[in-house]
């Protein structure tokens, strides 16, 4: 009897991990089958959540045409998936509704000047792709006000958009400096800037890139200055829903591909000259050697598609924010690492 009991116990111990293992693979298979990547590919279009109101990042003109760095990120992903950068439906989202739209599956990707924070990465249920713009929070004031720094804002009012990190950063910095102020908060960013322009706020705070972009469309841009002080660091990155590794990998590696292409000197104009290169690094990136795309569920030339149709990261930056644009923002931290910046792509190997 003791012998049979021991045998039964042994079989049970062996069976438990096998059952667990089967469940693991079953779950993995189901997760794989239900990836958003498959649904996007079957739909034939990417649904991209943007601001639609921030020149240089995502802005829609009177003809209904979208442009900006955040928009080009979506266009690059569409080009990688469909070889068509225009296979994108855009959804304008304000700061309050943007995360719910991702959680509810209303958008496939949020590409909307959103700061990567630990709480958004964990509690909110997002996964952040590589940072596409390193920013910092700034303060805009009227030149005639005589305000030179944050301490000069003692007893003043500051316009800020609620539901953003800027509202929290402002409170932290002013508390640190011992400056008393009155925050005037808005859900709608247009209302915030309009109130500031009307003179009902002494200062307007947002990401410095947003302040520069918005200043360009004020009635008299030269009457407004940005204080030199930074209130925070703001790594702006696209985000997708948590728990879908295949879709997250797709978004992540398309963006890395744009950065790697710039580092290797491959752009939309010269990409065809690399067709017969014997450089294995370039060949793997462009999909003429190896099968790196296959591992993602994409064509092996997915990076080549994005670069050829939309450009590498540097082209995207210059087209939307660089010299020749109304913003003329220096690359600074947004240079690739070989030129002293923070942009870096892991190896395509």
pLDDT digits (tens, 9 = 90+) for 148-164: 999 999 999 999 988 78
Q: What angle do CA 94, 35, 113 make, to 5 degrees?
A: 25
Of residues 14 and 225, more confidence is placed in 225
Closest CA to 191 of 234, 216, 162, 154: 162
Both tokens of 336, joined, read 């690739």
- State percent of the chain over pLDDT 90: 83
| CB-based contacts of 128, cutoff 8 Å, min separation 6 | 116, 120, 121, 237, 238, 239
pLDDT digits (tens, 9 = 90+) for 294-320: 999 999 999 999 999 999 999 999 999
| CB-based contacts of 342, cutoff 8 Å, min separation 6 | 131, 134, 333, 334, 335
Is 70 exceeded by the pLDDT of residue 22?
no
Helix, strand, coil percentages in the chain from 3-state DSSP, rounded to 5? 45, 15, 35
Is 80 exceeded by the pLDDT of residue 28?
no
Q: Which residues pair with 135 in a beta bridge?
A: 234
Does an H or E element contain 172, and which?
helix 165-177
pTM for the predicted model, two decimal places: 0.85
Helix (H, G, I), strand (E, B) or coil at 347: coil
Residue 312's pLDDT is 98
Name the burial class of residue 261, with classes exposed (0-12), middle (13-18) and buried (19+) by CB atoms within 10 angstroms of its CB. buried
pLDDT digits (tens, 9 = 90+) for 58-102: 999 999 999 999 999 999 999 999 999 999 999 999 888 999 999
């Amino acid at each position: 009897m003791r012998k049979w009991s021991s045998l039964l116990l042994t079989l049970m111990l062996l069976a438990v991990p096998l059952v667990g293992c089967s469940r693991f693979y079953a779950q993995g298979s189901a997760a794989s089958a239900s990836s958003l990547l498959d649904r996007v590919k079957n739909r034939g279009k990417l649904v991209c959540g943007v601001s639609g109101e921030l020149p240089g990042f995502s802005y829609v003109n009177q003809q209904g045409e979208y442009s900006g760095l955040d928009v080009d990120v979506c266009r690059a992903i569409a080009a990688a998936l469909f070889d068509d950068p225009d296979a994108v439906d855009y959804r304008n989202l304000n700061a309050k509704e943007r995360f719910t739209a991702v959680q509810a599956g209303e958008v496939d990707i949020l590409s909307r000047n959103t700061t990567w924070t630990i709480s958004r990465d964990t509690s909110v249920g997002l996964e952040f792709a590589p940072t596409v713009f390193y920013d910092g929070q700034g303060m805009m004031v009227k030149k005639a006000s005589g305000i030179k720094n944050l301490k000069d804002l003692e007893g003043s009012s500051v316009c800020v958009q609620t539901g953003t990190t800027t509202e929290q950063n402002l409170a932290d910095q002013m508390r640190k400096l011992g400056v008393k102020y009155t925050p005037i908060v808005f859900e709608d960013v247009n209302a915030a800037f309009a109130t500031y322009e009307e003179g009902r706020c002494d200062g307007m705070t947002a990401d410095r890139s947003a302040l520069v972009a918005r200043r360009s469309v004020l009635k008299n841009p030269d009457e407004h200055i940005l204080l030199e002080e930074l209130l925070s660091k703001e790594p702006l990155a696209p985000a997708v829903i948590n728990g879908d590794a295949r879709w997250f990998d797709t978004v992540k590696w398309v963006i890395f591909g744009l950065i790697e292409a710039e580092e290797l000197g491959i752009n939309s104009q010269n990409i065809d000259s690399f067709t017969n290169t014997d450089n294995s690094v370039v060949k793997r990136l462009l999909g003429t050697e190896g099968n790196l795309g296959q591992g993602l569920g994409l064509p092996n030339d997915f990076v080549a598609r994005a670069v050829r149709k939309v450009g590498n990261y540097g082209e995207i930056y210059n087209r939307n924010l660089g010299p020749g644009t109304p913003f003329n923002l220096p690359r600074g931290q947004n240079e690739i690492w070989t030129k002293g910046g923070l942009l870096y792509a892991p190896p395509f190997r």
